[in-house]
Amino acid sequence: EVQLVESGGGLVQPGGSLRLSCAASGFTFSSYAMSWIRQTPGKGLEWVSAISGSAGSTYYADSVKGRFTISRDNSENTLYLQMNSLRAEDTALYYCAKSAGNSCYSPVDYWGQGTLVTVSS
């Protein structure tokens, strides 16, 4: 059974940093692309970033480019999102999501339960 468990969310001041983690199990982690997708009541679902199975390709939304870094440790079956220079508009529930294939262009087929990030002073 595929399981994706996010952690690392919390309250942070504007300009601060957080590192989100997603522990994956139930599938061969290195064979699948992974993504971070966030959700807010006001802006709905917003794709944030994706990384291919081999980590050879990474993609970012313009809203986070230069501030967020996606990475993965295939030996530990873990996906990360390093978030720097956080802004109030980054406040959201952050989901870890698995793709159906190695390419980031494969459809997302599983989502974690999410971890809440709140950016506020």
Binding site for another protein (CB under 8 A): 35, 44-47, 50, 59-62, 95, 100, 104-114
Nearest CA to 36 out of 91, 117, 119, 114 is that of: 114
Q: How far is the CB of 13 from another protein (least distance, A)?
A: 27
Query: For residues 8 and 114, which CB has a smaller minimum distance to another protein in the complex?
Result: 114
Query: For residues 16 and 47, which CB has a smaller minimum distance to another protein in the complex?
Result: 47
- Cβ count within 10 A of residue 113: 11
Query: For residues 27 and 111, which CB has a smaller minimum distance to another protein in the complex?
Result: 111
